[in-house]
Amino acid sequence: MFLSALTILCLFCTWTRAASISSGTCVVPESKQSLVTGLEKQLVAYANLLYSPEPSVLIALNLAENQDISARMLFLQQLKDTAAKEMTSGKVALYVLALRSSCENPTDVTTPEKKVNLVQVLEEKTKEEIDYYYSHDAPKTTYYQLALDCLALCVENSPDVEMAAIILAKAALSNGFQSSGRFSVDTAAVASLALACVYDGMIATQQNKLVGTIQDALGHLTKQILGEQKSSGIIGNIYSTGLAMQALSVTSEFYLSGDWSCTKTLDKMLDEVDLGAFNTPAAASQILPSLVGKTYLDVKGFVCSPEDVPTIAVRYTISNDRVGTYFTFSTTVKVPKGSVLLAVLEAAQSAEPSKFSFQTEQTSWGPMVVSINGVQANNNEKTYWEFFSGKTPLDQGVGSYKPTDNEHILAIFNTY
């Protein structure tokens, strides 16, 4: 539930790029950068609108190194708060990638109910997919979800990744990636990313087992993806093109340089962005990584070490003189300049959890603090936690208000 200080700082970190789409001439021209910025703003705006967290949105914003720390923190908190719920294997895989891209350890996630090891959950769900495959000649869900599972397990260096990779490779070579009788570019693209990740690991460790099979599968998938190109540059359809761009950027050894014009595809996607084609969270998050020259494999190459980020000092006081045992506690924490108040609460909780622990609930206005140090707000008793800057009540929530250096923030348990 809580964000570590390293996580908050690492929202400013840089990436060690594993695979680049924007190499050479395939890069968004300066004259069209506003389209990419607009797409990011569109995704950021979803932070206060989505009641069901979308991990792909956070992955996209992290890959784009978006500078709106408050939105990224809010998305991250939403994911951590819901990490214990029942999900399909593919959704768990996306949660793992989203947490890892945020410098959070997916093997140790604190939710309001309990601690969760999401990698272990993913391994168990992937095993279910594999067992079902060997009984029914198909995954329990879909090959798309199994491909996400394989990708996330590879990013996490899980030993269970090999069996998933074998099934994906066999399915690829037997033309198994069909949806409603048609070749699925989305499934093939994610499978390519997953198999490329496994392939790179095997080459790096000089493992020869399965290398040939995976090479053949990657070559076959690449040929099929390229076969879905339209004269306009679209691959499959406009919504599958973003994933196809990611896949082709990491499988370039399997096709000739003239077989795909990245620039032509990129230009077409920018035209579609300008026309408002990507106006849903799922669509926008699927195209954004390709527009900023990143792929899901970059999550594996992310180095979680903060740069020299300017910080501010904030005095934080909590006070309760209404219920139970009265208390007043104060602390001073440092957070990156430009952070929202939520970061201050997280830093205080991280430093002294016995005093400054807190809980939030998501509302249409953003996160609302409902408990501090075990003292819970109660609608029936008309009690709540009110925040002040000095003596002035705040007119923004903890997910929006940005403290200044040496500001004194007070949280007072009050009635209305």
If the chain, 416 residues long, is cut into consecutive pieces of 10 residues, what is the mean pLDDT of each piece?
A: 53 48 74 96 80 89 86 84 94 97 91 90 98 96 98 95 96 89 95 96 72 95 97 97 97 95 97 95 95 95 68 96 95 88 90 92 83 95 96 92 96 96
For residue 403, what are the domain limits?
311-415
95 is in an annotated binding site: no
394 is in an annotated binding site: yes
Instruction: Tell whether 95 and 226 lie within a shared domain.
Output: yes
Q: Number of helices (H) and strands (E), helices first, in the chain?
A: 15, 12
pLDDT of residue 204: 65
Instruction: Tell whether 387 and 286 lie within a shared domain.
Output: no
Taken in order 374, 379, 381, 384, is the CA torsion positive or negative? positive
pTM for the model: 0.79
Instruction: Tell whether 277 and 345 lie within a shared domain.
Output: no
Give the H/E segment covering residue 181: none
Instruction: Tell whether 36 and 79 lie within a shared domain.
Output: yes
pLDDT of residue 12: 54
Q: How many Å apart are CA 234 and CA 268, to the nearest integer?
A: 7
Domain-located, residue 373: yes
46 is in an annotated binding site: no
At 88, list the tokens: 């399909």
Q: Got the DSSP string for 215-241?
A: HHHHHHHHHHHHTTB-TTS-BSSHHHH
Instruction: Tell whether 321 and 402 lie within a shared domain.
Output: yes
Q: How many Å apart are CA 286 and CA 273, to the nearest integer?
A: 12
Instruction: Tell whether 275 and 408 lie within a shared domain.
Output: no
Instruction: Tell whether 278 and 252 lie within a shared domain.
Output: yes
143 is in an annotated binding site: yes
145 is in an annotated binding site: yes
Among 276, 299, 322, the domain boundary falls at 299
132 is in an annotated binding site: no
286 is in an annotated binding site: yes
279 is in an annotated binding site: no
Question: Number of folded domains in the chain?
Answer: 2
pLDDT of residue 207: 65
Instruction: Tell whether 205 and 354 lie within a shared domain.
Output: no
Among 299, 326, 358, the domain boundary falls at 299
- Count of C-beta atoms within a 10 Å radius of residue 276: 9
Domain-located, residue 128: yes
Domain-located, residue 306: no
Residue pair 103/304 in contact by the 8 Å Cβ criterion: yes
pLDDT of residue 17: 41
Q: Compute CA distances 26 → 15, 20, 223, 242, 300, whole Å.
A: 19, 10, 21, 14, 23
117 is in an annotated binding site: no
CATH number at residue 341: 2.170.130.30
164, amino acid identity = A
Instruction: Tell whether 341 and 281 lie within a shared domain.
Output: no
**Exposed, middle or buried: residue 352 (CB in 10 Å: 0-12, 13-18, 19+)?**
middle
320 is in an annotated binding site: no
